[in-house]
Amino acid sequence: MRGDLLDFTAAPAWGDTESPAVRFDRDHWLLIEDGRIVGRQAAEPDASWARKDHAGQLVLPGFIDTHVHCPQLEVIGSYGTELLDWLQRYTFPAERAFADPARSRAGAEVFLDALLASGTTSAVVFPTVHKVSAEALFEGAAARGMRLVTGKVLMDRHAPDGLRDDVEQAERDCVDLIDRFHGRERLAYAVTVRFAPTSTPEQLAMAGALCRADASLYMQTHVAENRAEVAWVAQLFPQARSYLDVYECVGLVHERAVLAHGIWLDAADKRLLAERGAQVAHCPSSNLFLGSGLFDWPGAEFNVSLASDVGGGTSLSLPRNLLDAYKIQALRGARLTAWAALHAATRGAAEALRLGGEVGGLSAGQAADLCVWDWARGPVAEARDAAARELHERVFAWMTQADERNLAACYVAGQRRV
């Protein structure tokens, strides 16, 4: 495959617009065999190679969305609520429909195709409390060859009828799903706690026991997204030092834990996340849309990855979310470079998920999960691109102007999917 190849060999330093961690090979060839990258070179390959010519286009690793909700596509862009009202008015009614197996399958198909059409080839996904919704996602991702992390949502209180489980049945469902899907093809299971208020202490303890029983399992949940939510958790768990401590006390904070948002963490929380090797999935579009707060990225001592959080977020497109991430840091008096942003959506997310050898880059041995982008679409973006004087300026302009319309092709394990 011929194109302008861009990826990272390490984490760029915050604020650096010129970084040795950036690997950019203009008009190079990426060599792909049996779904994996086997090399990259300037010279044209010999006649034994089939060619895909994307000269003059940007080739990036497929994006990794570390927090997104499959059943919420139909409530994206809903008006007028903060987090807790959002759940009651929009999210829970949408999720209740996924009890129907046919609805779960149809929803998963649309959702997974929409991810690929946005340039996202790997994702950490929330389905619903219904076992069948997780099954549908696993099966749909396997059919597309995608790297997917998901698991049945745990939620046994403070939720409407039709969206609550119980500890015993939930544990049986999780064990069955783990046995059938975890480690199969490119699938992995995440113990999925909706958030602390919707699980009893008994259910949280069960979730922690699942994680302790198998260190290869992921864990995904929400933490410290909204001030009203943080206050509610303090009322429900008065014995806990903090919101994060609720999870820590039952063994849910570990190196495969993905905690969405993390806006209202204190210094002790940040140190704990760093010590455990956990990551926060930063959800900039959602944080702005729901008015949740401004994430302190430069002050993070822990792994930070990027997430769309659709439907609280307003787009599955990670370039759009990276633009919102820049705006959040600008409001806080900091400046997010294109390098730090793109690293967090590719190599950084892969390494935080312990998948750096497989996804997130364009190195030999990695899966050929990659996307081809037009540098500019339309007269405004084309004029801006033509005026760019150096690489960071050009990539930053692309990041701020691009969306799914710039996507020329999406490949998963070397197979063209878009």
Structural element, H or E, at residue 306: strand 303-306
In what side-by-side order are the strands of the sheet with 36-41? 36-41, 22-33, 2-8, 53-61, 370-373, 407-412, 415-416
Return mean pLDDT, the chain: 97
pLDDT at 95 over 90: yes
Asked if 150 contacts 125 with a C-beta cutoff of 8 angstroms, the reply is yes
pLDDT of 19 reads 97
**Average of per-residue pLDDT across 350-378:** 98
pLDDT at 267 over 90: yes
pLDDT of 392 reads 98
In the structure encoding, which two tokens stand for residue 181, read together?
A: 């899907």
pLDDT of 185 reads 95
Domain ranges in the chain are 2-60+371-416, 63-316
**Average of per-residue pLDDT across 102-121:** 98
pLDDT at 310 over 90: yes
Q: What is d(CA 384, CA 286) in angstroms, rounded to the nearest whole number?
A: 28
DSSP 49: S
pLDDT at 83 over 90: no
CA dihedral 11, 13, 14, 16 (to 10 degrees): -120
Which CATH entry fits the domain spanning 63-316: 3.20.20.140, 3.20.20.70, 3.20.20.210, 3.40.50.720? 3.20.20.140
* CA-based nearest residue to 373, from 343, 412, 341, 402: 402
In the structure encoding, which two tokens stand for residue 311, read together?
A: 């439907």
Asked if 328 contacts 284 with a C-beta cutoff of 8 angstroms, the reply is yes
Phi/psi of residue 161, each to 5°?
Answer: -55, 140
pLDDT at 328 over 90: yes
b/e code 15-45 from CB counts within 10 Å (16+ = b) = eebebebbeebeebbbbbeeebbeebeeeee
Model confidence over 38-49: pLDDT tens digits? 999 999 999 999
Asked if 174 contacts 218 with a C-beta cutoff of 8 angstroms, the reply is no
**Average of per-residue pLDDT across 46-58:** 96
**Average of per-residue pLDDT across 351-360:** 98
CA 223 to chain centre: 15
In angstroms, the Cα distances linking 17 to 21, 78, 187, 238, 332 are 11, 37, 36, 45, 19
Neighbouring residues of 47: CB distance < 8 A, sequence distance ≥ 6: none
**Average of per-residue pLDDT across 293-303:** 96
Model confidence over 115-167: pLDDT tens digits? 999 999 999 999 999 999 999 999 999 999 999 999 999 999 999 999 999 99
First to last CA, the chain: 15
What number does CATH give the domain 2-60+371-416? Answer: 2.30.40.10
